[in-house]
Amino acid sequence: MKSQSKNFPTSLVQSLETGKITNRAWLITGMLIIFQMVNFADKAVLGLVAEPAMRELGMSSSQFGFIGSSFFFLFAISSIVVGLLAAKIQTRWILLTMGIAWAVLQFPMLLGGGITLLLVTRIILGAAEGPATPITLQHIHGWYEPKERGLPSSLVAIGSTLGPIIAAPILAAIIAHPSYGWRWAFGFLGMFGLVWSLLWFLIAKEGPYSHLKAKQQLTQPKPLVHPNTSYISNKSIAEFADSLKVVPLFKVFFSPMFISAFLAGAGCFWAMGFLTTWAPRYLSAVLNTSPQMIGMISTFPWIFGALTLLVAGCLSKILMKKGSSVHISMGCVFGSLILMSGIFFLILSYATGVTAVLVLTIAAGLAMTFPLAPITLAYSICSKQRAAVMATVTALASLGGMISPTMVGMFMESAGYIQPMKGILPDTAMLGKLVTGMNLSFSYIGIYLLIVGLAAIVFLNPDKTAKKLQKDIEVNND
């Protein structure tokens, strides 16, 4: 393992010391950040085109909410299936396949598709994007040593928040341009996706710590039990992350660690579903400003989420270097962020105007930290099982994204909101009903995030779970 480290700098410090500033690991990291940007821009585009698309296609709030939810219909299934396949297939080819699929699926709406085609392409796009986070994390872990993985993983995760930040103003300008319109927003994403796919095909390769190279690299792995030292009493599992043995996956899936990550993740996906489907409509209701300005303001939660992920990644790296457990360094950090998100969502249900924008930015931004959950789980199992576990928790958590758009749409209609006909703007009273329905949904998700945030702080403990699973294997073997 040490010889591998010399050949492949795995941190920016090492890169500077060796003179290899533009080494392959950081180039791959940059490409995957862009990959995640495209991934989440594809999600955010639906919310940005909501107003013109609903008017042109004659959709009600519940119908549009259903299309927003449809993105997650096959999301979970594809996440699990591809996660299992990743144990035997090079992840660079999986990522290339996803990139091409994302791009191609944007073009039907550019070419004049209606409601049915929008629904079908969103369902298929969800299936193609389902495995994105676990597969990118699996691939990036192959380029860094265990103790160095926290920061680059967080940087890749930040790509998911940078997507809407960078894309929203561009897409809003395209939508508002008289020569283009909302359909060209899909076309722009499709063309950009094809360019990324070509570059990835030319650049990508598997990293030196890839799970497919594990047998070659771990010819002399660190022993799970050191002389005169109980393996179970070691503080952090990070030192042994790449030496763990295969364990029964059902024991991982039914552990308090995994369940707490799934439940907290569902709350994160709820917020994500709201941002990508309804946030522009909410902002236009609480602020009287232009569509271009709404497009810019809608990036605020993603900007705050990116900064939060960066700070969390740096904090986790510092804590782990000081010898803290993965539970403290990552699990408790993630749980605390989700707990605070719940508090701000509760406050949001009572906020108005500019204050509502500020509170939404913080509440939803804190919930954008879901990638910390699968990153934390990855420390509890061997490299060959990581993609399956990360994909499964992502798949189950995505149920929150499936529920969110439809739930918000139903609350809006229950509050009396009716989508105006094409060419007619909603009056002040109708906008008030829209906000009332959304505020009710904020109250529910706020309470939920408070509960699951506390659970994550207590139970998202890969150190304890990994040691218990490895000890069970040793006992059974004896």
Three-state secondary structure string covering 272-334: HHHHHHCHHHHHHHHCCCCHHHHHHHCCHHHHHHHHHHHHHHHHHHHHHHCCCCHHHHHHHHH
Pairwise CA distance, residues 187 & 193, whole Å: 10
Q: Which of 454, 438, 269 is nearest to 360 (CA)?
A: 438
pLDDT at 104: 93
pLDDT computed for residue 21 by the predictor? 36
Alpha-carbon span 129 to 35, nearest angstrom: 11
Residue 106 is classified by DSSP as T
Per-residue pLDDT of the chain (478 residues; tens, 9 = 90+): 444 444 444 444 454 444 443 478 888 989 999 998 888 787 778 877 877 888 888 887 778 878 887 887 888 788 888 888 887 888 899 999 999 998 999 898 888 878 888 899 989 998 888 888 888 888 888 888 776 777 788 788 788 777 777 877 788 888 888 788 888 988 999 999 999 999 999 988 888 877 666 544 443 344 444 433 344 445 677 777 767 888 888 899 999 999 999 999 999 999 988 887 788 888 888 887 777 788 778 888 988 988 898 899 889 888 888 888 889 999 999 999 999 999 999 999 999 889 999 999 999 999 989 989 998 998 888 878 888 888 889 889 988 988 888 888 888 888 888 766 655 556 677 778 888 999 999 999 999 999 999 999 999 999 889 888 888 776 666 5
Helix or strand (DSSP H, E) at 153 = helix 150-176
The per-residue pLDDT for 350 is: 92
pLDDT reported for residue 232: 43
pTM over 0.75: no
Angle at CA 153, nearest 5°, toward 88 and 301?
A: 125
- pLDDT value of residue 217: 43
Residue 235 is given by DSSP the state S
CA atoms in the 13 A half-sphere facing the CB of 325:
21
Cβ atoms of 445 and 405 closer than 8 Å: no
CB 272 within 8 A of CB 368: yes
Q: What is the pLDDT of residue 235?
A: 65
Residues in the chain: 478
Question: What domains can you pick out in the chain, each with its CATH number?
Answer: 23-212+237-477 (1.20.1250.20)
